[in-house]
Chain A
Amino acid sequence: MSVQAWTFVIVGLTFALYIGIAIWSRAGSTSEFYVAGKGVHPLANGMATGADWMSAASFLGMAGAISFMGYDGSVYLMGWTGGYVLLALLLAPYLRKFGKFTVPDFVGDRYYSNFARLVAVICAIFISFTYVAGQMRGVGVVFSRFLEVDITIGVLIGMGIVFFYAVLGGMKGITYTQVAQYCVLIFAFMVPSIFIAIQLTGNPIPQIGFGGELAGDIGSQIAAGEQITLLDKLDGLNEELGFARYTDGSKSMIDIFCITAALMVGTAGLPHVIIRFYTVPRVRDARISAFWALFFIAILYTSAPAIGAFGRVNLINAVNGSYYSAETAAAEGVQDPKLIPEWFKKWETSGLLAWVDKNGDGKVQYRGKDGAQASAFAGAPVFNDESRGTHGERVVTNALNDDNDNELYVDQDIMVLANPEIARLPNWVIGLVAAGGLAAALSTAAGLLLVVSTAISHDLFKKMIAPDISEKKELLVARIAAAVAVCGAGLLGIYPPDYVAATVAFAFGLAASSFFPAIILGIFVKRANREGVVAGMICGLGFTAAYIIYFKFMGGSKDNYLLGISPEGIGTVGMAINFAVAFFVSNITPEPPQEIQELVESIRIPRGAGDAHELSC
């Protein structure tokens, strides 16, 4: 069966599964719609959290990003896992005890202020929308690459599926679909990973092969008789080609530190992650499901850096110094020439690879410059397909960069997408990777859309505009809000704003500098009051937003970075400002009312989680 047939079959089967689950788990009440009736088993919740958390970017992009960044890629690995420790120890159990449905619920109630609630609602909606745009785009991209349908149609199909189970099932439908999606995505990620680990290191476990010696079919060929570990080889290759050593990286320490911290704290402050811990029956289950969540996430997050390293060794070995066409090599009289692999041309056709023969020798030359990446030409490749280049390559029309010798453009997504082909795996594995990418994108999109719809129906409508609304009506509003949000997200996927990539920094920066301090203070500092936390959120948010906008959108120069901290890491400073201001202002303004102090007391004690409003323990 062809790759495309397999892909249709596997993607079709998984979609049928998701729809089946959606029908089985329809939501009948607002509690089921918002928090799955608080009846989700911690193990299932852990899996759902994993799928919720691992987005199209984690699945398709992260291994590739690490592959190019080397040690610097650790910011994503530590940043996107370390946040779960904060969630488990500082947030999840207490928010579960608090009960209710949303993050703005907590902020609004704890700080007895509808203004604080409104700030939280706006942040939640903004963070979720910036995030969801990327997911819908991811769905479209997977469809167009694997099934060769138009991106727009791909996005529409994705919207249809999410619409079906998010609008119908709410949190309940989303949760059980996410469990299925986790299984699909982890299977799809691990199968090619294990095969590549065997081929390069002779060890089926990527996490161990990563630190092992080159062995196996391809590995021993690369080592050429030498006894050398994969990482030493990679360090050597990188250095030889003018990149930084793979295990050293090139970012400054303070920047690495701040980006890691902003991602960790941002993770712990993301509303679609926090809300998952409202869905389990007891406080103890919230702690346990934080463990399961990180466990399931760690399987992918410890494999991804191995795949990044394997992919890079493979790429350099297969591509660098290879002739693009056999004819060129024959014309030059080269016996038994090293030729580019078959997959090179396939991915060149899809625009993920491009080659410009700067020195005219017919060989692909992959180079860095002064220990950093060097772009062969400006921006992403724009092809002119009216004719072919001298060696039969696609013609790139971009202006070439003359200050370096690099001839190769590689899109980082290729590390995961091309993996099955590089490892010469059967066609069904390629179909599986497509289904995995879709599962990752759809599950994250659904979780985010739920946050948007509950923020509108519950926090805005029920809590602020029409408090007397009946549960049935509220559920209807929630469904309508979810439907509108799906359409909005779809539009962002079809017409992506150019700044999508930059907005990810925004989402984390805002979560780190707004929600995280507000929630932590709400639980651990009884004295924290309305005035303090509102002032803190405004200062933290204002600073972070201004910094990101200035450097990302208004062309601020790197030389003016505060202490060399990039916009990705500035949320850490914003968080510190938020804490400091909130602390100071809280201490010079009246302490919170008695009933709020009692609320804090009750949040701290697990007993009685079934009914969060009873203050006795």
Chain B
Amino acid sequence: MSEIDPNNQPVQTSDVELRHKYWQENIRYVLILLAIWFVVSYGFGILLADWLNQFKLPGSGFKLGFWFAQQGSIYSFVLLIVVYVRLMSRLDRKYGVAED
């Protein structure tokens, strides 16, 4: 195996370890993003919706809990995937496992 990582060190010696680290970091990103995913939908949109409804989304007539349930959570989902795509592309390059 002759893959070279960005620091110009041969990957060969610690290939298994490197894969392991790549996977660990990937899992960490996924867990953080899923925590946000849970909070904006199940948290703000459902569990805390009644409480949040006493506030309004600034500059609009939306009750906050209702807005998260019908609008905000969906916007957040789209953003979460954008962030994930970027983080993973960077991670792939860092560990030299990108496809190009």
Contact = CB atoms under 8 A, between A and B. Distances in A.
A213 B60 CA distance: 8
A348 interface: no
A248 B70 CA distance: 12
Contacts of A608: 99
Given A211-B60, A257-B47, A88 B84 contact: yes
Given A231-B63, A256-B46, A287-B88, A301 B82 contact: no
A294 B1 contact: no
B57 interface: yes
Given A211-B60, A294-B81, A77 B97 contact: no
Interface stretch (A49-57, A79-87, A185-193): A79-87
A248 B3 CA distance: 57
A247 B71 contact: no
B97 A260 contact: no
Interface centre among A66, A256, A291 (most CB of B within 10 A): A291
B84 A604 contact: no
B98 A78 contact: no
Given A247-B53, A609-B99, A82 B73 contact: yes
B60 A287 contact: no
A265 interface: no
A146 interface: no
A617 B61 contact: no
Interface in B23-66: 23, 26-27, 30, 33-34, 37, 41-42, 45-47, 49-50, 53, 57, 60-63, 66
Contact of B98 (A284, A291, A305): A284
Nearest to B34: A89
Interface residues on A, range: 35 or more
A421 interface: no
Contacts of B53: 247-248
A232 B49 CA distance: 17
A71 interface: yes
Interface in A196-228: 207-208, 210-213
A617 B98 CA distance: 10
A287 to B, nearest CB: 5
B83 to A, nearest CB: 10
Interface in A64-84: 66, 71, 73-74, 77-78, 81-82, 84
B71 A207 contact: yes
Given A89-B33, A257-B42, A290 B81 contact: yes
Given A82-B77, A256-B46, A617 B66 contact: no
Interface string B4-34: 0000000000010001001100110010011
Given A247-B63, A288-B85, A604 B23 contact: yes
B47 A606 contact: no
B74 A85 contact: no
A283 B47 CA distance: 35
A147 interface: no
A353 B83 CA distance: 46
Nearest to A283: B99
Contacts of B61: 211-213, 229-232
Contacts of B75: 298, 302
A210 B98 contact: no
Interface in A271-287: 282-284, 287
A260 B67 CA distance: 16
Nearest to A309: B70
Nearest to A610: B99
Interface in B64-96: 66-67, 69-71, 73-75, 77-78, 80-82, 84-85, 88-89, 92, 96
User: What's the dominant secondary structure at chain B's contact region?
Assistant: helix
B70 to A, nearest CB: 4
A156 to B, nearest CB: 37
A77 B74 contact: yes
B87 to A, nearest CB: 10
B74 A301 contact: yes
A90 interface: yes
A276 to B, nearest CB: 15
Contacts of A387: none
A491 interface: no
A126 interface: no
Contacts of A291: 78, 81-82, 85
A616 B11 CA distance: 12
Given A231-B62, A291-B85, A260 B41 contact: yes
Contact of B46 (A210, A260, A302): A260
A399 B78 CA distance: 48
A607 interface: yes
Contact of B74 (A81, A89, A90, A617): A81
Contacts of B80: 85, 89
Interface string A503-530: 0000000000000000000001000000
Contact of A601 (B3, B19, B33, B99): B19
Contacts of B74: 77-78, 81, 298, 301-302
A253 interface: yes
B60 A208 contact: yes
Contact of B69 (A78, A230, A295): A78
A605 interface: yes
Nearest to A617: B97
Nearest to A72: B69
Contact of A617 (B19, B81, B82): B19
B99 A604 contact: no
Contacts of B96: 607
A247 B60 CA distance: 15
Given A74-B45, A85-B37, A260-B46, 5 more contacts: A71-B70, A74-B69, A85-B81, A89-B34, A90-B30
20 contacts: A71-B69, A74-B69, A77-B70, A77-B73, A85-B37, A85-B81, A89-B81, A89-B84, A211-B62, A231-B66, A248-B50, A248-B53, A257-B42, A282-B99, A283-B99, A287-B81, A294-B77, A298-B75, A617-B3, A617-B97
